[in-house]
Structure 1
Amino acid sequence: MSDLAIIDYAMGNLRSVANALRHVAPAGDRVIVTSDPEAVLAADRVVFPGQGAARDCMHELRTHGLEDAVREAARTKPFLGVCMGMQVLLDQSEENGGIPCLGIYPGAVRYFGATPHDPHTGARLKVPHMGWNGVEQTRAHPLWDGIDSGARFYFVHSYYVAPEADALVAGVTDYAVRYCSALARDNVFAIQCHPEKSAAAGLRLLANFMRWDGQA
């Protein structure tokens, strides 16, 4: 039995995330939603979800005293970042002229642009990138177990991560550019899409996380 903490910093659809994780959790495992840094640090594994703006995310983390707890959890235990919880792991975001983020991994969060175009057809694309799209797996990882490369997940975002180290990339998606939609290193896995809204593939990824020991 183990405890999973979903970090509540007043941003994101936490109910959907919690319900999906409880649905796939092994019998006896406990899923809690918490804004208490001590509860985050005491948990066996941590999910860092979120949506919205990087500026607001960083402000709320500091307001709730969670910034150090997020860094420590990402250093020491199985850790899943989702959407905004992936983006702010990097150094900074282009949002509002530049927003400093957690700086756990070198790299930037970039804007798709006001009028992006499909590089193959020239068709104008909408921002935010909203809807179903494929994730091509760039390397093996325990969280990909049972999920086909190219499986479709649900996305809602206007910015994408651009890590400096190619070794961080675990999955890529095409939308205006070919961008990193999943990253992984050691005990951390993070994904741009919303697995809790991504049907069978998303539930499989969450189930894999619930059983993951943090070893890549």
Structure 2
Amino acid sequence: MIGIVNYGAGNIFSLTAALERLNVKYGMVDTEADLEKYSHIIIPGVGHAGAAMEKLQATGLVQAIKALKKPVLGICVGMQLITEHSEEGDAALLDIVPVKTKKFDKSLNIKIPHMGWNAVQHENNSLFKSVDDNEQFYFVHSYFIEYNPIFNVASANYGLKFSAAVQKDNFYGVQFHPEKSGKAGEQILKNFSNLSL
């Protein structure tokens, strides 16, 4: 059963609709005690990473999330929150995955935000089981996670190569929105719900 961290910075509706389509049971995490009720935890997120981190800190859940030993998935800004630092608001984040969140540079001659479908190249990781390499996923973001081969499990190219998905121990992150990425995205959510550590 999946617990969704409800800290006021996530697009919960699309995510819960996708989980319902998959018949995956879920509930909301509002307090530290709620974390105990679920086998898997999702940190959703849209908008500004610095502001999202402030909202997360206001819940008092930061230390409890960092201490989790069960599978955790950050989606979009939720993925950025598990990195160490974001250029968005010059914000210190959860520092679970020691990589940085950086702003796309206009000099790359790309439209910012990066919005729409983009091919993703993935490595042999259980999060991408039964997902084709170069599958298209839906992205909406102005900041990206720097590519680091140690933690990277999937990458994408938009002006430069960046991490589309990362993993460190029981913590996973995806920059794209699986809940808006059709069958391939639903497969990612299904794979996550089936992860065991």
Q: Same fold (TM over 0.5)?
A: yes
Q: What is aligned with 1:167?
A: 150
- Alignment partner of 1:80 is 2:93: no
Q: Compute the RMSD of aligned alpha carbons.
A: 1.4
1:116 shift after superposition = 4.0
Q: TM-score, normalised by structure 1?
A: 0.86
- Alignment partner of 1:4 is 2:2: yes
Q: TM-score, normalised by structure 2?
A: 0.94
1:153-164 aligned within 5 A: 153-162=137-146
1:177-216 aligned within 5 A: 177-214=160-197
- Alignment partner of 1:107 is 2:91: no
* 1:35-78 deviation digits (Å, cap 9, x = unpaired): 222112331110111011111111101111121222123xx001
- Alignment partner of 1:57 is 2:52: yes
1:157 shift after superposition = 0.3
CA change 1:111–1:61 in 2 (3 A) is same
**Secondary structure at the counterpart of residue 57 of structure 2:** helix
The separation in 2 between residues aligned to 1:142 and 1:79, in whole angstroms, is 14
1:71-150 aligned within 5 A: 71-73=66-68, 76-96=69-89, 98-113=90-105, 115-117=106-108, 124-137=109-122, 139-150=123-134
The separation in 1 between residues aligned to 2:66 and 2:33, in whole angstroms, is 13
Once the two structures are overlaid, the 10-residue window that deviates more, 98-107 or 145-154, is: 98-107
The separation in 1 between residues aligned to 2:83 and 2:59, in whole angstroms, is 20
The separation in 2 between residues aligned to 1:213 and 1:129, in whole angstroms, is 33
1:188 shift after superposition = 2.1
1:187 shift after superposition = 1.9
The separation in 2 between residues aligned to 1:17 and 1:84, in whole angstroms, is 14
Which amino acid letter does the alignment assign opposite residue 170 of structure 1? V
Greater radius of gyration (CA):
1
Q: What is aligned with 1:68?
A: 63
Structure 1 consecutive aligned stretches of length 4 or more whose deviation exceeds 3 Å:
none
Q: Is contact 2:8-2:55 (8 Å) kept?
A: yes
The separation in 2 between residues aligned to 1:81 and 1:25, in whole angstroms, is 20
Where do 5+ consecutive residues of structure 2 fail to align? none
Q: Is contact 1:172-1:182 (8 Å) kept?
A: yes
CA change 1:25–1:72 in 2 (3 A) is farther
Q: Is contact 2:166-2:173 (8 Å) kept?
A: yes
The separation in 1 between residues aligned to 2:32 and 2:23, in whole angstroms, is 22
The separation in 2 between residues aligned to 1:23 and 1:48, in whole angstroms, is 19
The separation in 1 between residues aligned to 2:107 and 2:36, in whole angstroms, is 41
1:199 shift after superposition = 0.3
The separation in 1 between residues aligned to 2:174 and 2:121, in whole angstroms, is 12
